[in-house]
Amino acid sequence: MSKSYEYKTIIYKEGLIGSLLLGESKVNPDNLTEMLNKYGRQGWRVRTMERENRRSLLFFSREAFLVVMEREIG
């Protein structure tokens, strides 16, 4: 019998306030870890993750992570 999976895509980024004050905002590793552990307790696991810089309000940039998670169904 083959396994079935479901997927969840999350764009994780910090709030805009760091970008407004500093012109750039980095992801806090402790906050990212907390979010990943929260989903891990629900049975999700990271399938792939990609780092990117996202523009906000034309002049500001924020670091973000595109996270694809999966978990087995049933």
User: Are the C-beta atoms of 62 and 11 separated by less than 8 Å?
Assistant: no
Range of the domain at 19: 4-73
* pLDDT per position as a tens digit, 14-56: 766 543 444 456 788 898 999 999 999 999 999 999 998 866 6
Q: How many domains is the chain partitioned into structurally?
A: 1
> Which of residues 64 and 57 earns the better pLDDT score?
64
- Between the CA of residue 29 and those of 12, 13, 18, 34, 60, what are the distances in Å? 11, 11, 15, 9, 20
The pLDDT value recorded for residue 58 is 61
- Alpha-carbon distance of 53 to 23, in angstroms, equals 12
User: Are the C-beta atoms of 10 and 69 separated by less than 8 Å?
Assistant: yes
- Which residue from 61, 66, 65 is spatially nearest to 16, judged by alpha carbons? 61
